[in-house]
Structure 1
């Protein structure tokens, strides 16, 4: 019998990469060889799956990626969506508050709308790639809570550099 092989698509974020490596190990233990791993930003990873360049995609979250999968979801098997099953993994998007801001000052996202709290932060939320759930959720949060913040698209290196620069200046 000829071995089963697949090309694995992975959304190019570290936590998806870690899960993808674990899935490759499980597949190998069951006789499935991953012949190629294609890492790509969100939208392109789903385009690769739809076009057949990959046969397996690691990085599906209904709240984050449904816009990419919906056009061809009926042609796919989505693990974790069968009735009574659990998702393969289920991270969530969060915003962090720097440690120089006392926990008593920011206990919830609504606290960020208070002028005395807002003054302690840079007024820009630096996003990662446009298709990322955290990017879309951040824009929704800014609007939903009427936060005086600007959202800027970017990538992971820019997001990290922006955070490090703001932290070094203590947000001012």
Structure 2
């Protein structure tokens, strides 16, 4: 890691944008574990660029509202264009924003444990079959209001006629959602879980997506760092902005980090630091614009 340490010192000395901005960078994090652990990776990178980082946490819609009001400089992570597109549009009524990087490619899903026979349940419509209704737990435990999966699930309940068939969708915390799924799996009950990728349950269990013929689950998003343009230009040099754009993770990586926090007892910072130490090539690739600033806008840069 000596190369990175040297880089940090060099950046502190040379970055012309740093000398007039000593306030911490305000990183707003959506308050679910996989968002928190992704933000921990971003914060580690910022610290290696010599920045102080102040992390704060709020639920989805509130986090975007804080970005709109200028209470935070950056948001981690925005799911665009589907899940959080409406929230970004609201921010844009007050402030221009920019997407940076590709943290992962999330998508919402309704799933069942893989021991539920696929010939019995492969599509959401199959939940209406009398023989499936007899076996399936009627409570569908979701997460909080404002999450894309919650909005989509309420629509699914109505459009597929599931409420009329006796199913109930409930909002709650991520812990409620996980507990409902694991309690069913522990006795091999049939259960529906409204979920998303990346999420640590996928690292631990086989969960099969149900086909959504009505297309109500919104499709695949891109999870990105969303920045207020004005604050981005004030706080970071072009090469540093390119570093943010270079940060590329994946559903699998974030599920692994999320698992480390939720099942292995690590803090978000510990999980992020351990992963970066075990995968130094990622960090070297991301920080390349600072190691060779003349190439910061090169087409060879990893985008």
TM range (shorter): 0.7 to 0.9
Once residues 16 and 78 of structure 1 are traced to their aligned partners in structure 2, the CA distance between those partners, rounded to angstroms, is 18
- Which of 154, 157, 160 pairs up with 2:172? 154
Which residue in 2 is equivalent to 1:60? 78
- Deviation of 1:13 (Å): 1.5
Distance 1:115 1:76, change over 3 A: farther
Q: Give the gaps of 5 or more residues in structure 1.
A: 81-85
Which residue in 1 is equivalent to 2:286? none
Which residue in 2 is equivalent to 1:129? 144
State how many pairs are aligned. 166
Q: Which has the larger radius of gyration?
A: 2
- Deviation of 1:70 (Å): 1.8
- Deviation of 1:114 (Å): 1.7
Q: Give the gaps of 5 or more residues in structure 2.
A: 1-18, 192-303
State the Cα RMSD in Å. Answer: 2.4
Is 1:77 matched with 2:97? yes
User: Is 2:68–2:92's contact at 8 Å kept on the other side of the alignment?
Assistant: no
Q: Deviations over 1:86-109 (max 9, x none)?
A: 754321112221244122222222
Q: Determine helix, strand or coil for the equivalent of 1:7.
A: strand
User: Is 1:3–1:31's contact at 8 Å kept on the other side of the alignment?
Assistant: no
Q: Taking structure 2 as the reference length, what is the TM-score of the superposition?
A: 0.49
Higher relative contact order (CA 8 A, sep 6+): 2
Once residues 140 and 130 of structure 2 are traced to their aligned partners in structure 1, the CA distance between those partners, rounded to angstroms, is 17
Q: Taking structure 1 as the reference length, what is the TM-score of the superposition?
A: 0.81
Which residue in 1 is equivalent to 2:69? 51
Once residues 68 and 141 of structure 1 are traced to their aligned partners in structure 2, the CA distance between those partners, rounded to angstroms, is 21
Q: Determine helix, strand or coil for the equivalent of 1:78.
A: strand
Distance 1:171 1:103, change over 3 A: closer
* Most deviating of 108-117 and 162-171: 162-171
